[in-house]
Amino acid sequence: MTVDRNIATGHLACAAAYIIFGINVVVCRDIATDGGIAPIVLFSMRALMAGALFWLLSLFTPKEHVPWQDLLHLAGAGILGLFLPQLTFLHAIAHTTPVDLSVMSTTTPIFTMFVAAIFLKEPITWKKVLGVALSFGGILWLILQSTFGGHGASATEPIGIAFCFANYIVFALYLGICRNLIARYSVVTSMKWMFLVSTLIALPFSLPHVPQTDFAAVPGYVWWEIAFMIFFSTFLAYYLVPLGQKRIRPTLVSMYGYLQPIIAIAVAIWTGMDRLTATKVVAAVLVFLGVWMVNRSRAAVPSQNSQQPKYDNDKSNVIGV
């Protein structure tokens, strides 16, 4: 049996990207607790270096003309899709355990569902409502136990949970509002402008923190983790996900999204950064079951002009990490 190269490339790209995202959860937790670098400074470093790599790559790819109106829209996409999600993620990971954050991150499709219903007029079915209720129950159980029960290597704090949900909401808004804009351009073109805008916005906020940061005191292994975060978790992963989305069905892409929490949980437990408890297992089962029901319900949207199922461009599992 002959394997389609494009499809195989899509599967490999998605698998690699979400494995990287999973490892990044643990890496960023380590940087946030041991690095001594403010989240806004860390984001500026990430955006500046990754943006420079995308601009460098653009020198070797076909040039695309972007009208000034779309440049303004890409600026807004950079705020919603990069600046706010990544900054809230860096704040969230400093106040949550990797397992708790990974479980909560699987609710991103639910937030995207509501945004899609508002901006894309996607119908909300009873399966989606039931899925949301199950996932909400799992998250509520996890929050109550982690916040007041002190589970994990260090307890998840309410401020961390707030940043988590802020991350999911703004990224869901990005997916719902900017989907058609991003689809018009190659990933290199859109990312180079989005990262440029994010860097320019972040620099004024990060510069006052730079003199207060003792870069010489940052451990050597943390610099290696920062390098991993910039090159693999930002530049490479943000290139691989759209590459995969163009080659395999959206429902398959969404399934690869579940690799992220699985990898993050496995790495966190293996490194001793967190531990798995019965509470977290129950919460994870409820959340995964709820999200599965939501995705199952929105896997295919009937087309008015065709008997064939029309698959929506589902990017709901791309968390802004």
pLDDT at 222 > cutoff 80: yes
Residue 45 clears pLDDT 50, i.e. is over it: yes
Please give the C-alpha separations between residue 152 and each of 55, 104, 142, in angstroms, as whole numbers: 41, 15, 11
DSSP 8-state secondary structure symbol assigned to residue 66: -
Per-residue model confidence (pLDDT) at position 243:
81
Q: In 3-state terms, what secondary structure has residue 73? A: helix
Tell me if 124 is assigned to some domain.
yes
- Give the number of other Cβ atoms within 10 Å of residue 302's Cβ: 9
Q: What sign results for the dihedral spanned by CA atoms 287, 290, 294, 295?
A: positive
pLDDT at position 251 over 90: no
> What's the sign of the alpha-carbon dihedral 206, 316, 50, 67?
negative
CA 60/CA 248 separation, integer angstroms: 25
pLDDT band at 305 (very low <50, low <70, confident <90, very high): very low
The count of structural domains within the chain is 1
Asked, for residue 317, whether it belongs to a domain, the answer is: no
CA distances from 255 to 8, 14, 49, 107 (A): 15, 10, 30, 13
User: How would residue 192 be classed by pLDDT, with cut points 50, 70 and 90?
Assistant: very high
Question: Coil, strand, or helix at residue 226?
Answer: helix
Q: Give residue-wise pLDDT tens across range 173-183.
A: 887 778 778 77
Q: Which two tokens stand for residue 147?
A: 């916040």
| Structural domain includes residue 157 | yes
Range of the structural domain that residue 187 is part of: 5-310
Distance of CA 149 to the CA centre of its chain: 27
Is 306 within a domain? yes
Most confident among 59-68, 169-178, 245-254, 288-297 (mean pLDDT): 59-68
| H-helix or E-strand spanning residue 67 | none
Q: How far apart are CA 118 and CA 40, in angstroms?
A: 31
Residue 319 lies in a domain: no
* Residue 139 located in a structural domain: yes
What integer pLDDT is reported at residue 155 of this predicted model? 64
Q: What is the distance between the alpha carbons of residues 150 and 157, in angstroms, rounded to a whole number?
A: 9
Q: Is residue 315 part of a domain?
A: no
Q: Please report whether residue 255 resides in a domain.
A: yes
Return the pLDDT at 180. 77
Instruction: Provide the token pair at 176.
Output: 């719902």
**How far apart (Å, rounded) are the C-alpha atoms in residues 237 and 101?**
19
| Among candidate residues 169, 150, 38, 29, the one with its CA nearest the CA of residue 101 | 29
Higher local confidence (pLDDT), 268 or 23: 23
Task: Please tell me whether residue 11 adopts helix, strand or coil conformation.
Answer: helix
Report pLDDT for 299: 46
**Residue 17: pLDDT over 50:** yes
* DSSP states along 95-143: SS-HHHHHHHHTTHHHHHHHHHHHHS-PPPPHHHHHHHHHHHHHHHHHH
pLDDT of 123 > 80? The answer is: no
Which residue reads 């064939």 in tokens?
308
